[in-house]
Amino acid sequence: MWVIFMELPSPPAPLPEGPGVRVNISPTLHHYHQLKAQAITKLMKVLAAIAKRKQELAQREGRFMLIFRNFLVRKNERGLLFKEGDFVRFLDPGTYHYFDPLLKMRLEVYDLAVPEFQHRFLDLFLKQYAQDVARYFMVYELTPQQVALVYKNGRLADILPPSSRTVYWQGLVDVKVEIIDLSERFDVPGDLAAALLHGKTTVDAQRMRESIYSMEVPPYQVGVLYVDGKCLKILPPGLHAYWQFNRRINVVLWDTRLQETEVSGQEILSKDKVSLRLNLSASYVIKDVLLATSMLAQPVVYLYKELQFGLRAAVGTRTLDELLENKNTIDELVFAYIRDKMTHLGIEVKSVGVKDIIIPGEMKTILGRVVEAEKVAQANLIRRREETAATRSLLNTAKVMEDNPTALRLKELETLEKVTEKIGSISVYGGLEGLLKELVRIK
């Protein structure tokens, strides 16, 4: 700041005024104005010099700023200093001044709120700056048989796959890594599985699907665990989860309740060459799932085919009349056949029954005629039997009347009663005795 002091001459004394006074202008006032103009000119020169000096100081300060550079690392940050692309050092929070007239230095700043650290020079840091790495970072390298759970501030945040290397900044975020050995066991404990699959975590969904295979077995069902195509064990109802690194895992569900299967529309020829269509129903229970799946690739398909074979064997050895006469015969034969086949395979067949026997249209017509003829013959036979019985009864009645006049008289009265039921009025001449004698005469 500049302070300028300048002394100006005092103006001349005022001239007397009044009537009759003569005033002569002295050269002193003119000299005063000249001095004042000179002072102003000097002041302008001084101000110009001050401005020039300020410009020179600003240029010198700019040249100083170009020569020295300042780098700032905040409290929640860490820095990596490079010169001409080569690593120099790690920087803690603070302000740093470096002589860098050619701008060859560069600072990379990392926020500690994101603890994961990745860098193209990471191998260089681990080998040549091991002490600095131990001070600033936490390094985790997993083997092919290890997986790790990452907790940030006490909350599950990530899953590290096998054969991976992960580096975290120390400081702001409390990172804890739990390493799990997959060579000993690859199942995920129930509480951890529930936390991973149903809890609130920040684990990436894609990472979760790549890391864990899960299956929830419903009630009344069991699961068969396959590892690399090999049947391993039976899973009870509940949530099951497994690490699927380095292995292929699959779970197949099987229902252990009573189930039904149907064999529909089977075209089979009977012993007498009649084409029949049958529908069969069977109920079964899978008693030993592990045995059934180890012996059969598709147990239910195998059961269906055996039911077909049993049905064909039962129908093809019997005539149509035998089948229609007793349909339970088919049920018994097929049940005995399939029970012996499936028992040693872990499947228990509870029941077998024929639902329908469908006969072709032409055969239906023929059978209808046969049935009609049989019924007509049966009706004729019954009618003849009735007529024979009636004749025999009349003969017996006549023999009784022949030896007993009273019975004959009663029969006459019975006949007369039937006749009179259809007559509106009767006129009797000669009395009732004469009428009865003349009406019926038996010789």
Residue 256: exposure state from Cβ atoms within 10 A (0-12, 13-18, ≥19):
middle
Q: What is the pLDDT of residues 240-283, one digit of tens each?
A: 999 999 899 999 999 999 999 998 877 787 777 777 888 889 99
Contacts of 218 by beta carbon, 8 Å cutoff, 6+ apart:
237, 253
Write the pLDDT tens digit of every residue in 12-37: 555 455 454 444 445 566 666 777 78
Higher-confidence position of 156 and 321:
156
Whole-number pLDDT of residue 4? 47
In a domain, 443, yes or no: yes
Query: Which range is least confidently modeled, 210-214, 232-236, 377-381?
Result: 377-381
Bridge partners for 80 per DSSP: 90, 108
Query: What is the model's pLDDT at position 24?
Result: 47
Q: Tell me how far apart the alpha carbons of residues 428 and 91 are, in angstroms, rounded to a whole number.
A: 154
148 has a pLDDT exceeding 50 = yes
In a domain, 163, yes or no: no
Separation of alpha carbons 82 and 104, rounded Å = 8
pLDDT (average), residues 372-396: 76
4: in domain: no
Q: What pLDDT score was predicted for residue 169?
A: 95
- CA–CA separation, 231 and 253 (whole Å): 13
pLDDT attached to residue 381 = 80
Question: Which of the two residues, 421 and 168, has the higher pLDDT score?
Answer: 168
| CB 172, CB 179: distance < 8 Å | no
Mean pLDDT calculated for residue range 386-410: 74
What pTM did the predictor assign?
0.61
Residues 408 and 351 grouped into a single domain: no
Long-range contacts of 84-90 (CB under 8 A, 24+ apart): 87/121, 87/124, 87/125, 87/129, 89/132, 90/129, 90/132, 90/135, 90/136
Does residue 333 sit in helix, strand or coil? helix
Instruction: Please give the mean pLDDT across all residues of the chain.
Output: 81
Domain match, 350 and 412 both: no
One domain for residues 266 and 355: yes
Res. 10 pLDDT band, cuts 50 70 90: low
Percent of the chain with pLDDT over 90: 41
Residues 6+ apart with CB under 8 A from 96: 70, 71, 72, 73, 81
**Torsion over CA of 250, 256, 257 and 261, rounded to 10 degrees?**
70
pLDDT tens-place string over residues 326-349: 778 888 888 999 998 898 899 999
Is position 50 within any domain?
no
Q: Is 170 or 400 the better-scoring residue by pLDDT?
A: 170
Provide the residue range defining the domain that includes 437: 404-443
Strand partners, 95: 72
Rounded (10°) CA dihedral 396, 399, 401, 404: -120
Last residue of a domain, one of 303, 330, 359: 359
Q: How confident is the model at residue 108, as a pLDDT?
A: 94
Averaged over 163-170, what is the pLDDT? 94
Give the model's pLDDT for residue 23. Answer: 44
Write down the pLDDT at residue 183.
87
Residues 418 and 334 grouped into a single domain? no
Position 62 scores a pLDDT of 53
Q: Which amino acid is residue 58, in one-letter code?
A: A
Give the pLDDT score at 22.
47
Report the number of secondary-structure helices (H) and strands (E) in the chain: 12, 19
Beta-sheet pairing, 68-73 with 94-99: antiparallel
Q: Last residue of a domain, which of 305, 330, 359?
A: 359
Q: How many residues does the chain have?
A: 443
In a domain, 300, yes or no: yes
Which of 226, 370, 344 is closest to 292 using CA atoms?
344
> Using 50, 70 and 90 to split pLDDT, how confident is the model at 356?
confident
Residues 265 and 351 in one domain: yes
- 265 vs 442, which has greater pLDDT? 265
Distance CA(266)–CA(341), nearest Å, equals: 20
Q: Residue 334's domain is classified under what CATH number?
A: 3.30.479.30
In the prediction, which pLDDT does 115 show?
A: 95
Under the banding of pLDDT at 50, 70 and 90, the label for residue 3 is very low
- Pairing mode, strands 259-269 and 230-235: unpaired
For residues 412 and 353, state if they share a domain. Answer: no
- Provide mean pLDDT across the span 154-177: 93
Q: Per the structure, how many domains does the chain have?
A: 2
- pLDDT score, position 5: 46
Asked if the model's pLDDT at residue 430 lies above 60, the reply is no
Region for 20 from its dihedrals, namely left if φ exceeds 0, alpha if ψ lies in -120 to 50, beta otherwise: left
Euclidean distance between CA atoms 313 and 22, whole angstroms: 165
Last-in-domain residue among 326, 359, 392: 359
Is the same domain home to 336 and 270?
yes
Helix (H) or strand (E) holding 71: strand 68-73
Average pLDDT over residues 219-223: 93
Could you tell me if residue 97 is inside a domain?
A: no
Residue 282 lies in a domain: yes
What is the predicted pLDDT for the residue at 15?
46
What does the pLDDT read at residue 390?
75
The alpha carbons of the chain give a radius of gyration, in whole angstroms, of 61
347 & 264 share domain: yes
pLDDT for residue 63: 52
For a pLDDT cut of 70, what percent of the chain falls above it?
A: 79
Q: Is 6 helix (H, G, I), strand (E, B) or coil?
A: coil
**Shared-domain flag, residues 354 and 423:** no
> Is residue 430 domain-resident?
yes
State the amino acid at position 20 in one-letter form.
G
- pLDDT tens digit string along 103-138? 899 999 999 999 999 999 999 999 999 999 999 999
Whole-number pLDDT of residue 25: 46
Rounded (5°) CA angle 144-206-138: 50
pLDDT for position 238: 92
Task: Pick the range with the lowest mean pLDDT from 43-47, 232-236, 254-258.
Answer: 43-47
CA dihedral for 117, 91, 139, 119, sign (positive or negative): positive
